[in-house]
Amino acid sequence: MSGRPTDDGVRVFRLPDLGEGLTSAEIVGWLVQPGSAVAADQPVVEVETAKAVVEIPAPYAGTVMACHGAPGETLDVGDPLITIGTAASADGRTPDGQVLVGGGVAQPEPARRRRKRVIGAERTLPRVPADPIGTRRIRLTGAARTLAEKVTRSHRELPTATTWVDVDATDVLRVRDELAGTGRRPSLLAMLAYLCVQALRRYPELNATVDGNGTDIVRVVPVHLSVAVQTDTALTVPVLRDAHARGVEELYAELARLVAAARAGTLRPADVGGGTFTLNNYGRYGVDGAAPLLNHPEGGMLGVGRVHPRPWVVGGTVVARQITQLALTFDHRLCDGRTAAGFLRFVADAVERPHEHFGLDDLPAWST
């Protein structure tokens, strides 16, 4: 998407492909302005997609000559994003007439021409009927609009089913606490991510998607685990790349980085898109279960409900245990109910017998 330099060293960088079928992005805010000096790989703008707010870096060093698009404006992939001068132009002016360095004045558009253009634009605006009294219209923009389009597509194209099971999480929480004595304390979500990857190894049918024509199932060998993260502004889905090749500690560290970046709005384009399966911890909001829409085009999602004390039968005696609900939503074209149940039962059994997967004697390696 980088433009070739002109004779005076001016290059136009266009909105790059942000992955996973995303064709546009909304500008959130510029981190530079015309006249700013930028280094290669320096973030220059924040944009919002259906996946997240991400920072886009400059591909080369130079001086900013123009920022194309104002905050709130949507650009398509391939549209001019920023113009950078890698060498000063002959008269020191930017394409819009602004002086880049030194004194001088801008060359404003003649008022008559500007007024004529604005009036002409007003004449072409469609009339919007007034809303009924007592209602308020909220336009879907940016991530909200793209998310609406994506969930609509998911509901329309993916025939899903959901199966769930209640699970005793008492022992896995105890193991998590025991790990603190070794200098490690992975989150419950990181431990579930590890178990999810092990289950996908045994049931690769769910680490797959159906192609756009609906004629072929495409199974993916690596596991790129998407993780739903709710921020103050939107639901984002960063991706744990190559989760199948990571141990629990590494999963925990990368997950912590992604969650922090998502909430700070500093996710990189490489951090989103391309997931093969989603882990969704909606239990942090106090709900037991859900049957969410799949993250199109992925074919499966493991949901985790809240962990809370409930009466549970252990050895014929009713005792208080820490119970959670695991739910698997899947594209029914990928597998039948038996395979889905096998996947879910594997994760549930691993949660209830965690020492078989997180044995303290094996902690130094924790390899996959």
Residue 17: active-site member: no
Identify the H or E element spanning 111: helix 111-124
Q: Which of 41, 155, 332, 362 is catalytic?
A: 332
Tabulate helix, strand, coil % of the chain (nearest 5): 30, 25, 45
Residue 96: active-site member: no
C-alpha distance from residue 43 to each of 39, 54, 59, 269 (Å): 9, 10, 9, 11
Q: Which of 216, 336, 349, 361 is catalytic?
A: 336
The answer to whether 9 touches 85, Cβ cutoff 8 Å, is: yes
229 DSSP 8-state letter: E
Dihedral angle sign, alpha carbons of residues 249, 251, 253, 255? negative
Question: Rounded distance, CA 326 to CA 281, Å?
Answer: 10
- Any residues with CB less than 8 A from the CB of 252 and at least 6 apart, and which? 186, 187, 190
Active site residues: 332, 336
